[in-house]
Structure 1
Amino acid sequence: MDYRYITVTKAHEGTFTWIHEPASFSASPGSGSFFEWLESPTAVYWVSGKLGSGKSTLMKYLCELPAIRERLLHWVPATCQKGERLQLVFASFFFWNAGRSSLQKSQAGLLRQLLYEILRQCPNLISVAYPEQWQEYTASGAVLTDESRKVGLEVAELVQAIQNIFEHTKTQPTFKLCFFIDGLDEYEGTPDDIIQLVSLLGSSQQVKICVSSRPWNEFEKAFGGNALRQLRVQDLTRDDIKLFVRDTLEKDANFQEMKEDDESCVDLIQEITNRANGVFLWVRLVVNSLLQGVTNADSVADLRRRLDTFPTDLYEFFERELFSVDPFYRQRTARFFQVTLTSVELLPLVCYWFVDQDDPDAVVASPAETWSVQRTNIRMRQMKKRLNACCKGLLEAQMYDTNKPSSSLSSSIMFDLRVDFAHRTIRDFLRSLDIQKLFDEWSGSTFNADVAICEAILGQIKASPLDKDYCAKGGPVARLVYAFNSQTATGNIPVALRPHTDVLIDQIGKLVKPFGLKHIAEELLSGV
């Protein structure tokens, strides 16, 4: 569930500093000081913003800002009634509708994350949240039994556990909670459902919640009534956008050379800022386009024409980029996008190298042969270039799991660099029926994304170091096998292609069985 948080763009250096200054909010009549809310008794603060305005980046910035916790101490009294020092519990959850797991976009995922953080930081509340299990645990002499392990994970049971904690703190306040919940509009259910849950969580005097979403009517009605307890991101980021554009352009050597020849190029910074309307994603795409022009030795007039012809609507831009792909590459384009849309798990970049092979049967026919570090680096560089040529920056290879023990392995790069959409709006655009029909036409009638994914995973396993470090439970090869299992479990593979999939299953099972993954191999070989 950390994938979403990890992939949210980190704030550009020097941006969002306005959050510290109450006077900054005067630029947006519908916004109230965030730091004043932190010290107030009001439960909920709403961060709203247009599509691509940087809401999630701001929420990540706030979660990592030490000053937030310092200000919250003014809200948390120094001691409770018994003279004990009150504890501040801080937790966050980033909804992700594009997430491969239902826990990334559901109430259950949110509640499990919040409950985990509460109990991790205040383990003395475990007996309060789960009194029956705790009683069983203590009655058995502090031994975990089958009964004490039974912790309900349904939404109603999770809500009950949190309510048990809230009820307890009414008479014995020992802590206060601050939750940051990003992307209410990415919740898989109805807006009213998640609004009710936020209201329930915010009903305790021990809780403060900062939520973010697009300004949908339902959220406006629920959270928009108090102008002093909300902010509109696009109204406050004009200076941030100007700073980002200036820094990004001026650190480019080619732009610096152009500036020495024609200083009027710096006027583009202000022009982009004026046209942005607070949409950071649009700015990022425009700047990338201009930098491409600068690399091609475009004149200032050329760059201005680029800017003038750049669509102001994001979907128009995505469509323009898609149809600008060289017809020679369009089959690859469609297949790369279909694989990314279809995969249950985010796939490593190496998998895309196998998706791109002309003869998919070669994966089955070839023996297992570990790639050298040199070959891995060469082929990954090739795939980055192919993705850029075929997908126009709409797909990106990004680093994941760098804090896992397996990331210290010599070939960890072939697992940790994974492919995903540059922004969630791209995924939404590509899922439209018209684009799906277009991809079916471009990719060819024989292409099946689910099967291609399974073949690619087999290919990467064969190219991986098959030893105990890589194949350990939770290791990179084991995660690939689980990804394969998840893909076959979708039930989307046509009946006619299942014999071929069975061959893939058989090969993977035999490859991993000798390396401590016997249980996974048996699941695969038994058809589970």
Structure 2
Amino acid sequence: MKLLVRDERTRHELSNWTDDPIILLHFLWISGTKDQRSMHKVLCSLLYQPLEQGDGLVDQLTLQFSFLDHRSHVDEWSKTELRQVLWEAIRNLDKRICIFLNGLDEVDGEDRVEFHRFIKDLLQAQPEIKLCVASRPEVPLERIAGRVCPKFRLQDLTRIDISMAVRDFLRDFSLSDTGINANKNEAICDEIINLVIDRSEGVFLWVHLVLRRIHNGRETIGSLDEVLRRIEKLPKGVICTTRHGKDAAKMRKTTVRRRRITFSW
């Protein structure tokens, strides 16, 4: 998503839609804290950006919302207040806005229903607002945007790159039966590549983890058939990668705690 936001072609295409569009963005991350993935912080982030860009916008909003004079810390704002001020800020900017949201499926579970409602409101604000979101497949999001919004799957864009990466790995991966039946091995390689593409769901981290796992266990793998069987037993990309991300986050937190204990001594 960052590459998409920073790419000059994105700005060029948006300029065909409107002159000098305003871009707002927020990225959610599963390994972040619960607070960082909350609806409250998403609204704070989206509100801060137009306030930073709009000259005199803060003064206008202060006149419209008297409670702003009594808010000195972000935690004093309610989500209702944030939504009200955000919508008014967007209207007062008098410009069209494109909002990029990444990782919608990683919003905190307690806020999911409310967050989906917020996405629906943004979609209904067209043509003044364009919305570009990235998410793992989720039924509620499909219901909200699936029928009316164009979309593409990550695996449709990364298929060729993943295929090349796996083929290069298998070419360099020495096995005891390599060369015995070249045609059979080539057929199995194609089957492995297609399986990895399907299971990874376009997630390169999944591909990396699986290939590393095979590489580390190469001493106990005697054939490409065995490689295929091992991959077939693995969960699909989004499940495997999410689990790995959570485990890594726990490991980092444990390491930090241990370091704190060490320093405290």
TM range (shorter): 0.7 to 0.9
Mapped partners of 1:150, 1:309: distance in 2: 52
Mapped partners of 1:113, 1:246: distance in 2: 42
CA shift, 1:244, in A, is: 3.1
1:241 is paired with a residue whose SS is helix
Structure 1's 244 and 225: CA in aligned 2 closer, same or farther, altered over 3 A?
same
Mapped partners of 2:55, 2:243: distance in 1: 39
CA shift, 1:237, in A, is: 3.8
Matched, 1:113 2:37: no
Correspondence for 1:198 among 119, 123, 147: 119
Which letter maps to 2:27?
F
Match of 1:166 in 2: 90
2:137 is paired with a residue whose SS is coil
Correspondence for 2:12 among 64, 70, 95: 70
Correspondence for 1:180 among 86, 100, 119: 100
CA contact (8 A) 1:238 1:273 kept: no
Correspondence for 1:292 among 216, 239, 251: 216
With normalisation by structure 2, the TM-score equals: 0.73
CA contact (8 A) 1:128 1:164 kept: no
CA shift, 1:196, in A, is: 0.9
Matched, 1:89 2:22: yes
Match of 2:140 in 1: 218
1:314 is paired with a residue whose SS is coil
Mapped partners of 1:314, 1:457: distance in 2: 36
1:192 is paired with a residue whose SS is helix
Mapped partners of 1:61, 1:121: distance in 2: 22
Structure 1's 286 and 426: CA in aligned 2 closer, same or farther, altered over 3 A?
closer
CA contact (8 A) 2:51 2:58 kept: yes
CA contact (8 A) 2:123 2:130 kept: yes
Matched, 1:457 2:253: no
Structure 1's 68 and 100: CA in aligned 2 closer, same or farther, altered over 3 A?
same
Larger Rg: 1
Mapped partners of 2:8, 2:30: distance in 1: 29
Match of 1:489 in 2: none
* Structure with more of its chain in helix, by fraction: 2
Match of 1:424 in 2: 242
With normalisation by structure 1, the TM-score equals: 0.40
Identity of aligned residues (%): 25
CA contact (8 A) 1:233 1:278 kept: no
User: Greater relative contact order (Cα 8 A, min sep 6): structure 1 or 2?
Assistant: 2
**What RMSD in Å do the two structures reach over aligned CA positions?**
4.0
CA shift, 1:245, in A, is: 2.2
Match of 2:152 in 1: 231
1:306 is paired with a residue whose SS is helix
Which letter maps to 1:275?
L
2:13 is paired with a residue whose SS is helix
Which letter maps to 1:270?
D
Deviation sequence 1:141-198 (CA, Å, 0-9, x none): xxxxx868567532112112111123325xxx2x322112122222212543111111
Structure 2 portions without partners, runs of 5+? none
CA contact (8 A) 2:57 2:92 kept: no
Structure 1 portions without partners, runs of 5+? 1-58, 79-86, 137-145, 319-421, 431-448, 462-503, 508-528
Mapped partners of 1:425, 1:128: distance in 2: 46
User: Equivalences for 1:90-169 in 2 at 5 Å?
Assistant: 90-102=23-35, 104-131=36-63, 149=72, 153-169=77-93
